[in-house]
Amino acid sequence: MAVKLWDVVIAGAGPAGLSAALVLGRARRTVLLCDTGTPRSWASKEMHGFLTRDGIAPAEFRRLARQELSRYPGVEFRAVEVTAATRTGNGYFSVTIGKRSHVRSRKLLIATGVFDHLPKLEGIEQFFGTSVFQCPYCDGWEMRDAPIAVYGKRRRGFEMARAMTAWSNDIVLCTDGTARLSGTEKTHLQRNEIAVVEERIERLEGARGKLREIIFRGGRRLKRSALFFDTPCSSQSQLAQALGCQFARHGGIKCGQHEATSVPGVFVAGNIIKDVQLVIVAAAEGTRAAFGINRALTREDFERRATGSRRIQHPSLEDPGMQRRRRKHA
């Protein structure tokens, strides 16, 4: 029996993948949406910065989104991981879902998101998502004017401390060891009344998810109501690497017009691009990618019917807007 050819397989059903599936479903495309249920927001109690949905629980947001998608018969959801994908000789994709199942698709959208690496601090798990956060734009408002600790090393710590001055003027930068800040950075922090504590952190203490104190190894206690950290994150999937997509210097997948990657037929959206990592931006990137995917599919089908030839359409890796700006300043 022939394996069904989907128009698009989407790996990841977070805001980016869900938004893409909605646009593609409305464009009458057949879409297989796959997800393992490991969102970056697993610890978050509320989602913020998304107009009309500010404060909604992430799980409720996903439930409502999938309910809306159920209106479109071309969209199918499967609770399974896209574990591998290869580009075949005819320009389509052979996609492995789960351990053994295989499907075929004309386009592939990778929207698998990232995992945050929590600082290795005793007790941090009980506070993550309620008083320990990684995104000030997501949770800074709730902690406004509170005594805040920032956890970060080197430039990361400096930049997070600087960012938090939009929400509070009571900030302490905890570097958990030698800060390794430049003289200029130390001066700027001092002039903004941000203390720097280089002592090693022993543990975090509090109750019912609310941080109360940071305990240092020497016995010192620092009363804080929240901690914001900036540590590296990593992709939840290696699909882009396996397919040969190019990566940018900052570690995100390099993409251009309509979130197209360097591999024809492969698009990306969401936090794996490592640009502005907000929910509403991820959703917008999913929409942009869906627009590019549908336009490519439409043009391929139009040309095939007109000429009998089948040529893969793929947007430019470099954004035309960037090309115009370069010409302007050349």
Q: What is the pLDDT of residue 325?
A: 37
Best CA proximity match to 114, nearest among 20, 242, 284, 251: 251
**What is the per-residue pLDDT across 157-166, written as a single tens digit (0 to 9) for each?**
999 999 999 9
Give the Cα separation of 163 and 75 in Å (integer): 40
The pLDDT of residue 315 is above 80: yes
pTM for this structure? 0.89
| Under 8 Å between Cβ of 173 and 198 | no
Strand partners, 253: 247
Question: Locate tokens 């960037």: which residue?
Answer: 322
Q: What domains are there in the chain, each with its CATH number? A: 5-115+233-329 (3.50.50.60), 118-229 (3.50.50.60)
Q: Where are the alpha helices (DSSP H) in 212-270?
A: 239-243
Question: Locate tokens 């290696």: which residue?
Answer: 238
Read off the DSSP letter of residue 172: E
Longest dimension (CA), the chain: 78
Range name among 5-9, 82-86, 249-253 with the lowest pLDDT average: 249-253
